[in-house]
A = this chain, B = another copy of it.
């Protein structure tokens, strides 16, 4: 089914204990589109880049089945740029540089061909921008998933709550769930946040996995224990891309299928962290993905017969 992805396409410069990069391609929508492309080949990208952005990455997306008609290229401006340095444990990072550039004035225009997309993934952007995308849809998508961050809770909470009321599934991390709800217990936090108008909530816990809640069920998927985590950048976006890509492919938005989508999303994220940036998400085979999913099955499945 058709999937519309809206989010940043950008440059990152990353430093981890294992090395550092020059400017490489990053941005939420880059990770989301690549991860989703392993499941669903009918996607549209709405984003903005400057004249400095490499044409070959856009071609790569197109080869992966991403329609880039909605990608605005502002020839005389520069792409969004973020630079960060991770601490030794990789769980914390300091932002060194944030240059909004073209993203500062981003006004997303959903092309007519994407206005009936059945699945909509809104990557982390200003809530007002996310709202404007929803308002451009001709038919209400079957499922809208939205990612956001603490920054918008700090400076645009009312608009954020407004957009949460318009979507189906919210993905945030544990600290953000606590901030948004005022509850320390993630179970209580989830109950409060779901009442803002959601069908389901995903709480991402980084190396500690992810929780999926609906109004009466909870599911947990661990992160795969890896020998080396090289660069966590984009793991959450990759997870979201795998999640919605799998749902769009299977056209099934039941809780049981969302559980599967969480596993596929986690599997995709486990690739991303193995190299810098989007590198590991390029050129994976179906066998690579299946093999990773099998590792998840082996990791968590057990057999207890209580009856």
The chain A residues found within 8 Å of chain B, CB to CB, are 88-89, 184-188, 205, 208-209, 211, 217-222, 225-229, 256, 259-260, 262-263, 290, 293-294, 297-304, 306
Contact = CB atoms under 8 A, between A and B. Distances in A.
A115 to B, nearest CB: 33
B297 A220 contact: no
Contact of A219 (B185, B259, B293, B299): B299
Contacts of A218: 225, 298-299
B300 A304 contact: no
A280 to B, nearest CB: 17
A263 B306 CA distance: 12
A300 B300 contact: yes
A299 B293 CA distance: 18
B185 A229 contact: yes
A208 B284 CA distance: 30
A89 B184 CA distance: 8
Contact of A185 (B185, B187, B228, B263): B228
Q: How many copies does the complex hold?
A: 2
Given A211-B225, A263-B304, A293-B304, 4 more contacts: A89-B184, A185-B226, A205-B208, A297-B304
Contacts of A304: 260, 263, 293, 297
A211 B209 CA distance: 13
Contact of A302 (B89, B184, B185, B259): B259
A299 B220 contact: yes
A221 B302 CA distance: 9
B302 A219 contact: yes
A226 B300 contact: no
A260 B299 CA distance: 13
Nearest to A205: B208
Contacts of A301: 301
Contacts of A259: 302
A231 B106 CA distance: 48
B187 A209 contact: no
26 contacts: A89-B184, A185-B229, A187-B225, A187-B226, A187-B227, A208-B209, A209-B209, A211-B225, A217-B298, A218-B225, A218-B298, A219-B300, A219-B302, A220-B222, A220-B299, A220-B300, A221-B300, A221-B302, A256-B302, A256-B303, A260-B302, A260-B304, A263-B304, A293-B304, A293-B306, A300-B300
Contacts of A188: 227
